[in-house]
Amino acid sequence: MRAGTVRKEFIAGRPSPPGSTRTVLGLRHALLDPVGHVRGGVPGFAPEAAVVLISPRLGAGFVQFLVDLRPGEAGGSGLPGVEGFLYLLAGEAAAELGGQPVLLAAGDFFFTPPGMAWRLRAGACGARAVVFEKPYARRPGISEPPLLVGRTGEVAGLPFLGDPDALLRTFLPEDPSFDMAVNLFEFRPGASLPFVEAHVMEHGLLMLEGRGIYRLEDAWYPVAAGDAIWMAPYCPQWFAALGPTPARYLYYKDVGRHPLEDGRGEGKIA
Ligand code: UGY
Ligand code: MN
């Protein structure tokens, strides 16, 4: 290799050499290289239409999966006591949310309250989506969250901790009814999280655009669009955007519950 050149196969997002993967599975974090995706595991979708990225089998308190629907193909979910959040990554789709019809384009999203059945039918170009599902942690005296539909363009991106180069869009209301958040982070090239976070909430993350470096515990990973990351509670985490274009990621976070409530179903505090 000549000085100053980089072998393509070692750049995140490019094909890995046969027999190698960037996937890392740890006790407190995981990085999932799209090269390793294997389809199946979500009843309600054809086996080839879904890929489970993160689940309790990994140690997480939620599920994160990708959906790829061919034109006209449909699938859905809605388990008892489980709430859902879907973000349409590409294409167009007709959704039925508890029987209510809604048309979605790329960048649109919906939240379904615990137990509400939802179904998605892809439009003429197909549809790609990411879904987060979580058992709802009920709280005495607090009503369940309502059905919600939104569009990325209608949510303001606010400077994160005062940094105009790191814009955060918060898709779900900060209301005690909600026990999950889903946010979209956009970093200009060179921007970063201001410090290494270590917090009680866990994350599921999907890189949507651009590239950067993610610190997870004591390891630093080059990441690019298509990578998924699980961060367990207290996993030290930090991100910096590298490359010529902005980096964007969508992430899940459990919120709004006392740490003594288990966050994995019924709250334990009466
Ligand atoms: O909301 C968060 O905890 C966010 N700042 N974490 C992250 O992007 N890894
Ligand atoms: Mn965080």
State the Cα torsion 121-183-61-59 to the nearest 10°: 100
**Model confidence band, residue 269 (pLDDT cutoffs 50, 70, 90):** very low
The count of other CB atoms within 10 Å of the CB of residue 256 is: 21
Distance 232 CA to ligand 1 centre (A): 12
**pLDDT value of position 17:** 81
| Rounded CA separation 183/219 (Å) | 24
SS3 124: strand
Distance 231 CA to ligand 1 centre (A): 10
Domain ranges of the chain: 38-152, 154-254
**Model confidence band, residue 209 (pLDDT cutoffs 50, 70, 90):** very high
Mark residue 19 as left, alpha or beta (left: phi above 0; alpha: psi -120 to 50; beta: remaining): left
CATH class for the region spanning 154-254: mainly beta
Contact 215, 24 (CB under 8 A): no
Tokens representing 186 are: 């956009």
| Rounded CA separation 225/241 (Å) | 12
**pLDDT value of position 261:** 85
132-to-1, 10, 38, 253 alpha-carbon distances in Å: 43, 30, 18, 10
Contact 133, 63 (CB under 8 A): yes
**Model confidence band, residue 264 (pLDDT cutoffs 50, 70, 90):** low
The count of other CB atoms within 10 Å of the CB of residue 263 is: 24
**163 Cβ closer than 6 Å to some ligand 1 atom:** no
Q: Specify the residue with its C-alpha closest to ligand 1, atom 9.
A: 237
**253 Cβ closer than 6 Å to some ligand 1 atom:** yes
Tokens representing 76 are: 């859905």
**134 Cβ closer than 6 Å to some ligand 1 atom:** no
Contact 228, 51 (CB under 8 A): no
Distance 199 CA to ligand 2 centre (A): 7
Tokens representing 167 are: 């814009």
Pick the atom of ligand 1 nearest to 160's CA. 5
Please compute the mean of the pLDDT values over residues 113-132 and round it to a whole number.
98
**pLDDT value of position 38:** 94
Please compute the mean of the pLDDT values over residues 165-183 and round it to a whole number.
98
Q: Is the pLDDT of residue 3 over 80?
A: no
User: Model pTM?
Assistant: 0.93
**pLDDT value of position 9:** 41
Distance 177 CA to ligand 2 centre (A): 21
Tokens representing 205 are: 């993350």
Report the chain's mean pLDDT, rounded to a whole number: 93
Equal fold, 38-152 vs 154-254? yes
Contact 206, 228 (CB under 8 A): yes
Q: Enumerate residues with CB within 5 Å of ligand 2 (an ion).
A: 197
Task: Indicate which ligand has the atom closest to the C-alpha of 168.
Answer: 1
**237 Cβ closer than 6 Å to some ligand 1 atom:** yes
Fold annotation for 38-152: Jelly Rolls (2.60.120)
Contact 253, 215 (CB under 8 A): no
Q: Is the pLDDT of residue 5 over 90?
A: no
**pLDDT value of position 18:** 86
Q: Is the pLDDT of residue 6 over 80?
A: no
Q: Candidates 167, 170, 185: which one to mutate for ligand 1, based on the most atoms within 8 Å of Cβ? A: 185
